[in-house]
């Protein structure tokens, strides 16, 4: 397979996996969980190295995933005491895990080359060089791994669609009809954690964080329907993947960074020109209303 | 600063770090309150990530890795990010967390793009720019302390002078607007203060870990008070305490200061969340358990009495059948009733019988419950001069004897 195509497909599949979950994070006011997870995996990497002395992708993913899940569950636990709001809970837990990771690195692993860039914070540009041979065909590892995560997320979102929808918009109602929203929200957080960790390893942390938040937020500006929102989020992610790769090649720049910037541009555009919630539409509506009021007043006089 | 450093029984470098951590904790505790109370705790996260493009641009403009210019670059990028975040939140339906997330990922993506651009320039000087995101407390100088103290003093003074205005804008922005206060300016001012706190902390603990420094003192202080007037100084004191304790621990065990301070801060916040009197999670759990025990105690007492009236004194098995209480709860409660001298077991079958004290207690309890029932039924017709709501467990004590007597009359 052509190298360019591998990178674009890898990024697109990441966009799919993230776009399926991102809207729910945005709607549940937990968008920053993705960033929290991206920092919380550090102690997992250090622990994997200390226990197994390996930096093999699989072991690192498992180690990182354990701490990522720990992180989201700890946040959920803190929040469910009702004493700490969701954002503060996030901000308490992930720096702690990050700090533990830094302490682990300085205490036990300073001699070896164990830094974030080379282990879990992967670089998407290297995706084509890591190839698996499946049934005589060479396939990039990242495509297989992220493709299966995307498929799992798709299955999760489709199977739990009604439940997710109910518990996102009205947790009280979904509790009443026996859906156990807390259980479901934990399940979703675990899905986010696993998606993030797996994708970090292939495409880098910042791209995953961006793809989990920005397309979801952009779609939120464009529509009021959940299904449309999820589809839009995936689509915007793909736009970011394709246009970002093209921009990076033209400008000889960081691929992940440019993809992130393209997503940011999409967000800015939606903020400006969204037909219902955009700044322009709101301004026009306000002006029209002011004029209508003015004419009505004039007519009365 | 010299005299303060001499005053401490520590080596020069340790004293500098401890004083720095104290200043940082104090400032971030006070300034962080404004973020945490508005559900914007993670603004610090966005500002921290925005430092990367700021540092890159400062480097591109000056061409040198001078700490002063880099920090100015980081501060300006932080302010830009904060203003952008407030603008997104105010003008659209995007909520604070998503606004922070969008700004964070945009700025960091920009930072990475700039970083690749810089490294393609073949400037040997550029190595390690990204390391700026993780602090280095050991490199702290007395000169840095003076700068930190000046910034901290200025921002704390601002908060002290504008306390009332900031309070109104914080809790009720609409009301503040109707009073003619410049709400938007205040909003931006509060966020700029946060940028100041993050900039103070960047040298000490690093940008990422600064996020926690803004939050943990406030979360801890919030468990101990409901008033902003006490929350701000309390958060400052707790923050300073966290900073000092963390710095001392770190210098004692030769670990990096930032992470140790953050771990200490988390422990303090967690302890407050679990243990704070009247509010903490463990305290509440204990309270609920005690209430449950009391309810079971009184319930079983009355049930034994009812059973004794209905027929021969019941055995434990009969009582369990009649009440449907779980076996463990019933055994435990009966034992406690016995220990209190309200119950004894008679004969070979261990039939349960109330003692004289037990009968009196049951009678009194029944009276109290009747009084509560009477309050529910006739309370409205009493026309009390004030809107008192009595304690259901003891109506007589909370309403006074004459009102209780009138209630009893009404009920009979």
Residue B94: list chain A partners with CB under 8 A: 217, 220-221
Specify the CATH number for the domain of residue A104. 1.10.3470.10
- Residue at A227 is within a domain: no
Q: Is the pLDDT score of A158 beyond 90?
A: yes
d(CA B411, CA B393): 18
- Residue at A263 is within a domain: no
**Least confident range of A58-72, A122-136, A164-178, B255-269:** A122-136
pLDDT cut 70: percent of chain A above it: 94
**Cα B182 from chain centroid?**
29
- CB nearest B109 (choices: A81, A264, A277): A264
Whether chain B has a CB inside 8 Å of the CB on A280: the answer is no
Angular region, A278: left φ>0, alpha ψ -120 to 50, beta rest: beta
Which of A22, A26, A31, A40 has the highest number of chain B CBs within 10 A, making it the mutation to test binding with B? A31
Whether chain B has a CB inside 8 Å of the CB on A200: the answer is no
Residue A99: list chain B partners with CB under 8 A: 209, 212, 258-260, 262-263, 266
pLDDT digits (tens, 9 = 90+) for B56-107: 888 888 877 777 777 888 889 989 998 898 889 888 888 888 999 999 999 9
The enclosing H or E element of B345 equals strand B343-346
- CB nearest A217 (choices: B98, B134, B260): B98
The residue ranges of chain B whose pLDDT is under 70 are 1-2, 122-139, 387
pLDDT digits (tens, 9 = 90+) for A209-268: 899 999 999 999 999 999 999 999 999 999 999 999 999 988 888 888 899 999 999 999
Mean pLDDT of A141-166: 91
Confidence at residue A119, expressed as pLDDT on a 0 to 100 scale: 44
Confidence at residue A269, expressed as pLDDT on a 0 to 100 scale: 94
Number of domains in chain A: 1
Residue of A nearest to B210 (CA): A95
Q: Is the pLDDT score of A113 beyond 60?
A: no
Whether chain B has a CB inside 8 Å of the CB on A145: the answer is no
Q: Tell me whether residues A92 and B216 touch, CB distance under 8 A.
A: yes
Q: Tell me whether residues B44 and A91 touch, CB distance under 8 A.
A: yes
Q: Tell me whether residues B212 and A96 touch, CB distance under 8 A.
A: yes
Band of the pLDDT at A111, cuts 50, 70, 90?
low
Residue B259: list chain A partners with CB under 8 A: 98-100, 102-103, 106
- Residue at A186 is within a domain: yes
Question: Please, what is the average pLDDT of chain A?
Answer: 86
Select from B113, B55, B11, B392 the least CA-distant residue to A262.
B113
Whether chain B has a CB inside 8 Å of the CB on A29: the answer is yes
- Residue at A89 is within a domain: yes
Residue of B nearest to A274 (CA): B92
* ipTM of the complex model: 0.89
**Least confident range of A48-57, A92-101, A183-192, B120-129:** B120-129
Whether chain B has a CB inside 8 Å of the CB on A123: the answer is no
Confidence at residue A219, expressed as pLDDT on a 0 to 100 scale: 95
Residue A95: list chain B partners with CB under 8 A: 208-209, 211-212, 262, 266
Number of CB pairs, chain A paired with chain B, less than 8 A apart: 187
Q: Tell me whether residues A106 and B256 touch, CB distance under 8 A.
A: yes
- Residue at A13 is within a domain: yes
Three-class SS of residue B343?
strand
Confidence at residue B135, expressed as pLDDT on a 0 to 100 scale: 53
Residue of B nearest to A255 (CA): B113
DSSP string for residues in B361-411: HHHHHHHHHHHHHHHHHHGGGG--SS-----TT-HHHHH-HHHHHHHHHHH
d(CA A105, CA A103): 5
Q: Return contacts of A72-81, CB within 8 angstroms, 24+ apart.
A: A72/A33, A72/A36, A72/A37, A72/A186, A72/A189, A72/A190, A72/A192, A72/A193, A73/A186, A73/A189, A73/A190, A75/A33, A75/A36, A75/A189, A76/A182, A76/A185, A76/A186, A76/A189, A78/B273, A80/A182, A81/B273, A81/B281
* DSSP state letter for B338: H
- CB nearest A213 (choices: B36, B96, B102): B102
* DSSP state letter for B11: -
Domain encompassing residue A15: 3-213
pLDDT digits (tens, 9 = 90+) for B25-46: 999 999 999 889 988 888 888 8
- Residue at A78 is within a domain: yes
Band of the pLDDT at A117, cuts 50, 70, 90?
very low
- Residue at A125 is within a domain: yes
d(CA A86, CA A182): 14
Which of B51, B89, B113 has the highest number of chain A CBs within 10 A, making it the mutation to test binding with A? B113
From A253's Cα to the closest Cα of chain B, the distance in A is 6
From A132's Cα to the closest Cα of chain B, the distance in A is 29
Whether chain B has a CB inside 8 Å of the CB on A220: the answer is yes
d(CA A81, CA B276): 13
- Residue at A152 is within a domain: yes
Q: Tell me whether residues B273 and A81 touch, CB distance under 8 A.
A: yes
| Orientation angle between helical segments A33-40 and A86-108, nearest 10 degrees | 20
Confidence at residue B125, expressed as pLDDT on a 0 to 100 scale: 59
Confidence at residue A255, expressed as pLDDT on a 0 to 100 scale: 87
Confidence at residue B127, expressed as pLDDT on a 0 to 100 scale: 57
CA angle B91, B93, B95 (to 5 degrees): 100
Q: Tell me whether residues B212 and A99 touch, CB distance under 8 A.
A: yes
d(CA A231, CA A157): 12
Please name each of the domains of chain B with its CATH number.
2-209 (1.10.3470.10), 294-354 (1.10.10.10), 361-411 (no CATH)
d(CA B213, CA B197): 9
Q: Return contacts of B141-144, CB within 8 angstroms, 24+ apart.
A: B141/B16, B142/B1, B142/B2, B142/B5, B142/B16, B144/B20, B144/B203
């Amino acid at each position: 397979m052509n190298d360019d195509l591998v990178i674009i497909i890898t990024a697109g599949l990441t966009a799919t996996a993230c776009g399926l979950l991102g809207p729910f994070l945005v709607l549940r006011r937990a968008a920053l969980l993705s960033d929290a997870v991206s920092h919380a995996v550090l102690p997992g990497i250090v622990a994997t190295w200390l226990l197994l002395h390996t930096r093999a992708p699989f072991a690192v993913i498992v180690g990182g995933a354990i701490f990522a899940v720990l992180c989201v569950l700890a946040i959920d636990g803190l929040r469910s005491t009702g004493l700490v709001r969701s954002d503060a809970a996030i901000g308490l837990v992930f720096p702690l895990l990050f700090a533990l990771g830094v302490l682990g690195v300085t205490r036990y692993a300073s001699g070896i080359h164990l830094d974030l860039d080379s282990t879990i914070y992967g670089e998407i540009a290297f995706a084509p060089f890591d190839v698996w041979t499946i049934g005589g065909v060479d396939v990039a590892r990242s495509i297989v791994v992220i493709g299966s995560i995307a498929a799992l997320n798709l299955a999760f979102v489709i199977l739990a669609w009604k439940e997710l929808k109910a518990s996102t918009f009205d947790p009280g109602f979904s509790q009443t009809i026996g859906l156990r929203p807390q259980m479901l929200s934990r399940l979703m957080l675990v899905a986010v954690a696993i998606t993030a960790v797996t994708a970090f390893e292939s495409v880098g942390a910042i791209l995953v964080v961006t793809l989990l938040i920005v397309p979801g937020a952009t779609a939120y500006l464009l529509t009021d329907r959940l299904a449309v929102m999820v589809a839009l989020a995936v689509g915007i992610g793909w736009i970011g993947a394709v246009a970002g790769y093209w921009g990076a090649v033209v400008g000889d720049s960081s691929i992940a960074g440019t993809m992130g910037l393209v997503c940011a541009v999409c967000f800015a555009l939606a903020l400006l020109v969204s037909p219902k919630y955009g700044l322009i539409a709101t301004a026009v509506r306000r002006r029209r209303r002011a004029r209508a009021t003015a004419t009505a007043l004039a007519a009365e006089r | 600063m010299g005299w303060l450093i001499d005053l401490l029984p520590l080596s020069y470098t340790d004293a500098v770090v401890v004083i720095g951590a104290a200043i940082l904790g104090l400032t971030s505790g006070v300034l962080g309150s404004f973020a945490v109370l508005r559900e914007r705790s993670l603004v610090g996260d966005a500002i921290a990530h925005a430092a990367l493009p700021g540092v890159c641009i400062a480097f591109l403009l000056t061409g040198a890795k001078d700490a002063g210019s880099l920090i100015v670059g980081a501060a300006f990028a932080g302010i830009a990010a904060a203003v952008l975040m407030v603008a997104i939140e105010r003008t659209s339906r995007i909520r604070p967390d998503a606004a922070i997330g969008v700004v964070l990922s945009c700025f960091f993506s920009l930072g990475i793009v700039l970083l690749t651009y810089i490294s393609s320039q073949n400037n040997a000087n550029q190595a390690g720019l990204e390391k700026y995101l993780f602090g280095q407390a050991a490199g702290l100088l007395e000169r840095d302390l003076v700068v930190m103290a000046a910034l901290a003093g200025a921002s704390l003074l601002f908060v002290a002078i504008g306390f009332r205005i900031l309070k109104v804008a914080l809790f009720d922005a609409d009301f503040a607007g109707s009073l003619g206060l410049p709400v938007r300016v205040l909003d931006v001012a509060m966020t700029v203060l946060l940028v100041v706190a993050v900039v103070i902390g960047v040298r000490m603990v690093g940008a990422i870990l600064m996020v926690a420094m803004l939050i943990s003192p406030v979360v801890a202080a919030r468990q101990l008070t409901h008033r902003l007037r006490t929350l701000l100084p309390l958060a400052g004191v707790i923050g300073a305490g966290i900073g000092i304790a963390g710095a001392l621990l770190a210098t004692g065990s030769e670990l990096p200061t930032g992470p140790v301070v953050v771990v200490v801060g988390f422990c303090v916040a967690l302890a407050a969340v679990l243990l704070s009197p009247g509010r903490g999670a463990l305290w509440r759990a204990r309270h609920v358990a005690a209430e449950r025990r009391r309810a079971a105690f009184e319930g079983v007492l009355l049930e034994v009495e009812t059973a004794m009236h209905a027929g021969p004194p019941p055995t434990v098995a009969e009582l369990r059948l009649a009440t449907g209480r779980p076996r463990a709860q019933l055994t435990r409660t009966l034992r406690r009733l016995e220990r209190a001298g309200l119950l004894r077991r008679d004969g070979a079958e261990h039939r349960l019988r109330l003692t004289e004290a037990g009968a009196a207690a049951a009678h009194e309890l029944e009276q109290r419950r009747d009084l509560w029932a009477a309050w529910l039924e006739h309370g409205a017709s009493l026309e009390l001069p004030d809107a008192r709501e009595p304690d259901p467990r003891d109506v007589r004590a909370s309403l006074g004897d004459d009102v209780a007597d009138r209630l009893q009359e009404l009920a009979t």
